Each structure stands twice: as C-alpha cells, then as structure tokens.
Amino acid sequence: METSEIRRLNLKRLAATYPSQTAFANAIYRELDQVGHLLSGRRNIGARLAKHIETALNLNNGSLSLPPPIAHDQNGQYNQSSEIDHNQQILAMLQTNPLPRDDAAAVYYLITRLSA
C-alpha cells in the first residue's frame, strides 16, 4: 500500500472520531474543502501536511504514515476477513520510505521484540 493511501485511510479513521467534517477541519486548522479533498483522495497528504496534522492532533511523529494494525477497507472501515500482518506492513513501509537513523533503529527494535 502506498504511503499516500495509508495516510488517507488514517485520516479517515481520525475524522470519523469527530462529530462532523467541520469539527475535524477546525481541529487540524484546515478549510473544510481541503479536508474533503484529502479524504476523497483528490489530493494527497504530503510529508509536511502529515506532520502538521500530527502536531495539531497531538499524535506521534510519523503515526499518520504507519499502516493501521488491522485491515481496513477503502472507506477506513475494519474488515475482519482481510486481517494483515502488521509487522510485515511496517517492514515494507520502512523499505520504501526510510526513517531517520535513530527512528529506524527504534522501530526495528520494537518489531523484532514483538515478533519474538
């Protein structure tokens, strides 16, 4: 799965926790139209915007780019029939989108400890 798609699905999951798209747009300090475009996939979420959203919502750095721990369909809904190995997703993401050296070492350590 491409990073842009992962970010979009994570954004959909986050937006679903707000009472409305307007409330979500206000929470991330963006216009409602822009949020609609991001959620629909008409616009991609770049690294700078991802960092802005993470900061606005007080999320960990890079969390918007991490695959969700369970499978989700295109609408961001949980799909039990297509459970995905989360560790494999993270490893694949790290191979295509390297993290800074310290972050990569920390993630690798966690993955190896969790899979043991």
Residue 98 per-residue DSSP state: P
Task: Please report which helix (H) or strand (E) contains residue 52, including its range.
Answer: helix 47-56
Name the band, by pLDDT with cuts 50, 70 and 90, for residue 3: confident
Give the residue-averaged pLDDT of 20-27. Answer: 94
Comparing CA positions, the residue from 80, 62, 64 lying closest to residue 72 is 80
In angstroms, the CA 47 to CA 64 distance is 10
Helix count and strand count (H, E) for the chain: 6, 0
Task: List, in sequence order, the alpha helices (H) in 1-116.
Answer: 3-15, 21-27, 32-40, 47-56, 86-96, 101-115
In angstroms, the CA 96 to CA 115 distance is 21
pLDDT reported for residue 63: 86
Residue 10 per-residue DSSP state: H
- Summarised one tens digit per residue, pLDDT across range 81-92 is 444 455 556 656
Give the residue-averaged pLDDT of 94-101. Answer: 60
List the domains of the chain with CATH numbers: 3-84 (1.10.260.40)
- Phi, psi torsion values for 25, nearest 5 degrees: -60, -45
- Summarised one tens digit per residue, pLDDT across range 54-83 is 999 988 888 888 876 655 555 655 554 444
Residue 78 per-residue DSSP state: B
In angstroms, the CA 31 to CA 22 distance is 8
pLDDT reported for residue 77: 58
